[in-house]
Amino acid sequence: MSASAASTAAPPAAHTAAQSGKDSDDEDEVEQLQYKVVILGDGAVGKTSLTSRFCEDYFAASYKQTIGVDWFIKRVVLPGDVHVALQLWDIGGQTLGSKMVSNYIFGAQAVVLVYDITNLQSFQDLEDWLALVKKTFDGEQMPLVALCGNKIDLQHLRAVKADKHAGFAEEHGLYSYFVSAKTGDHVTQAFYRIAAELAGIQLTKAEIEEKAKVVQADIINHPQHDPNQEKLVLKEKKERCVIQ
């Protein structure tokens, strides 16, 4: 499920502690944890595509700029029958200098910093995005912060080396992921792990791998020959016995 919000109005922040999904005395009601997760990064790095892929398993071929903020809700079930609702706030990339962006970020339990592995500038700008997060939570408890390199389906165009990604994550103590919103590769796995960390649940390697999307390679049926060219016919050579 997704919804849009204008830049001057946003849905209420997610709860900061575990609470029931519905206000009811019914003992059969499933307790649901709810967390606010903010997606930050430059424009065109794939923030909306990332959230759309995770929440709706959908990828739009054409780019549409997010103005202000869009938000999505995705419910996941963690081991132990723990139900978690992730409220994903997709912040427009042009809002870095906006006075409203701190309001969008405030109250988040997790922040995902997204960059495009084929765009070096989008990676370098993460310093500013992270500084904004730290400024917003000055004196408050910092949220979980994850570094997400998107568009790994374009490895041949990579402009940010993996060691730079790893170095930035280690320097700032960030969780680290590489994903492809286009193919869906590791998208669900990344958010599933974030949900587990927020809920304080330790995942096994098997549980993590179970959420990894298997990407099928495209099979291209190349023509065996150019129909405009005459077919080459090889003449059969007769074997001859040579006596020396």
Residues 6+ apart with CB under 8 A from 37: 86, 87, 88, 89, 108, 109, 110, 111, 112, 191, 194
The answer as to whether 62 is a domain residue is: yes
The answer as to whether 21 is a domain residue is: yes
Asked if pLDDT for residue 4 goes beyond 60, the answer is no
> What pLDDT shows up at residue 210?
84
Amino acid (1-letter code) at residue 228: N
> What pLDDT shows up at residue 160?
98
> What pLDDT shows up at residue 213?
57
d(CA 4, CA 72): 8
The answer as to whether 123 is a domain residue is: yes
Domain count, the chain: 1
The answer as to whether 106 is a domain residue is: yes
The answer as to whether 215 is a domain residue is: no
> What pLDDT shows up at residue 95?
65
Asked if pLDDT for residue 30 goes beyond 60, the answer is yes
Distance from first CA to last CA of the chain, Å, rounded? 85
The answer as to whether 226 is a domain residue is: no
Return the higher-pLDDT residue of 98 and 65.
Answer: 98
Average pLDDT, the chain: 80
CB-side neighbour CA atoms (13 Å) of 222: 2
Give the tens place of pLDDT for each residue, 35-72: 999 999 999 999 999 999 999 998 876 566 666 788 89
CATH number at residue 106: 3.40.50.300
Amino acid (1-letter code) at residue 23: D
Range of the domain at 102: 2-210
The answer as to whether 218 is a domain residue is: no
> What pLDDT shows up at residue 69?
85
